Amino acid sequence: MDRLIDRYLEHLELERSLSPHTLRAYRGDLDDFAGFLASETGPGTRVEPQSVDTTAVRAFLASLARRGLSRKSQGRALSAVRGLLRYAAREGIVDSNVAAGIPTPKAPKTLPRHLRPHEIEALLAAPRTRTGPLARRDAALLELLYATGLRVSELVSLDWRDLDLDGRVLRVLGKGGKERMVPFGRPAAATLSDWLQDWDGVRAEATRPVAGDPVWLNHRGGRLSVRSVRRIVDRAVADAALAAGVHPHTLRHTFATHLLEVGADLRSIQELLGHASLSTTQRYTHLDVDRLLTVYRQSHPRARSKGRSSASAPTADGE
């Protein structure tokens, strides 16, 4: 089983270009699965892929539930196992994917957190209360996150050659190695220009060689990490006195929601976010009830009609 997992993850990395973060998540879930199978068959017993059946997969899911894992985590683990066995079937290692018919545990649907206009303005202004090169870096970083809706992994991978400050557009490689062009506004371009003036001085502090010309540098002159971006957002949230629960991904949700609220169509937002599926974009965007009612009342023919009483409405017999 361990050899099959290694082959499958190599396939995902080389042929499907999945990110290191995704590969680590798959590795953890599949190692859990292999460990569960080994515990069920007894010490010293080698688990072969051909011995895995539907009952074993269902028992693995039940063990995750007993451990207190959320339904979302259970669903992710099932997806990893399903993908592994699908790969094994395609390679002729097993006869069929025994996990194909097992339903994914339904996770409760929750709306993603997004910031209201006054909240995002406070967040973007927070680094300007400080001085120095890293304060200007933080201001530019937050502006670009909100202006483009980039994933944090995409943000930290940017080099200066990927940005056209005059044209206010950037090139980014998203999930699966798919390239897309994303525009940004004048405020982001201005803060990026300010940070660029300090960039050489910060880069000179590098204690080891850094590949490329990364846009975002840490205080030692190296490329900024995803974890560091989280710390920058946390500090801005604290300085702006915003409620807890704001993360770097919150700015991506906010970007999409604010575009939708001013009339952008979902297909355009899908392209900007780099989503393969429109259904994914729909989960990243939401409107409050007041706006939904306003759109309905302005758009639906029956909502716009006046002077119609309930007595004048057609009855079932008159239809």
**Which residues, including other chains, have CB under 8 Å from residue 151's CB and lie 6 or more apart?**
174, 175, 249, 252, 274
Is residue 284 among the annotated active site residues?
A: yes
Spatial contact of 226 and 152, defined as CB atoms under 8 Å apart: yes
Q: Which of 114, 252, 253, 258 is catalytic?
A: 252
Spatial contact of 2 and 86, defined as CB atoms under 8 Å apart: no
> Hey, is 111 helix, strand or coil?
coil
Q: Which of 136, 137, 223, 275 is catalytic?
A: 275
Element of type H or E holding 172: strand 169-173
Q: Which of 76, 82, 114, 151 is catalytic?
A: 151
Is residue 258 among the annotated active site residues?
A: no
Is residue 109 among the annotated active site residues?
A: no
Is residue 175 among the annotated active site residues?
A: yes
Is residue 296 among the annotated active site residues?
A: no
**Which residues, including other chains, have CB under 8 Å from residue 315's CB and lie 6 or more apart?**
none
Q: Which of 11, 27, 175, 283 is catalytic?
A: 175
**CA 109 distance to own-chain centroid:** 16
174, two tokens? 């998203």
Angle, alpha carbons 267-272-276 (nearest 5°): 65
Spatial contact of 161 and 172, defined as CB atoms under 8 Å apart: no
SS3 content of the chain, % helix, strand, coil (to 5): 60, 5, 35
Q: Which of 11, 171, 203, 249 is catalytic?
A: 249
Burial of 311 (0-12, 13-18, 19+ CB in 10 A): exposed
Is residue 249 among the annotated active site residues?
A: yes
Catalytic residue numbers, as ranges:
151, 175, 249, 252, 275, 284
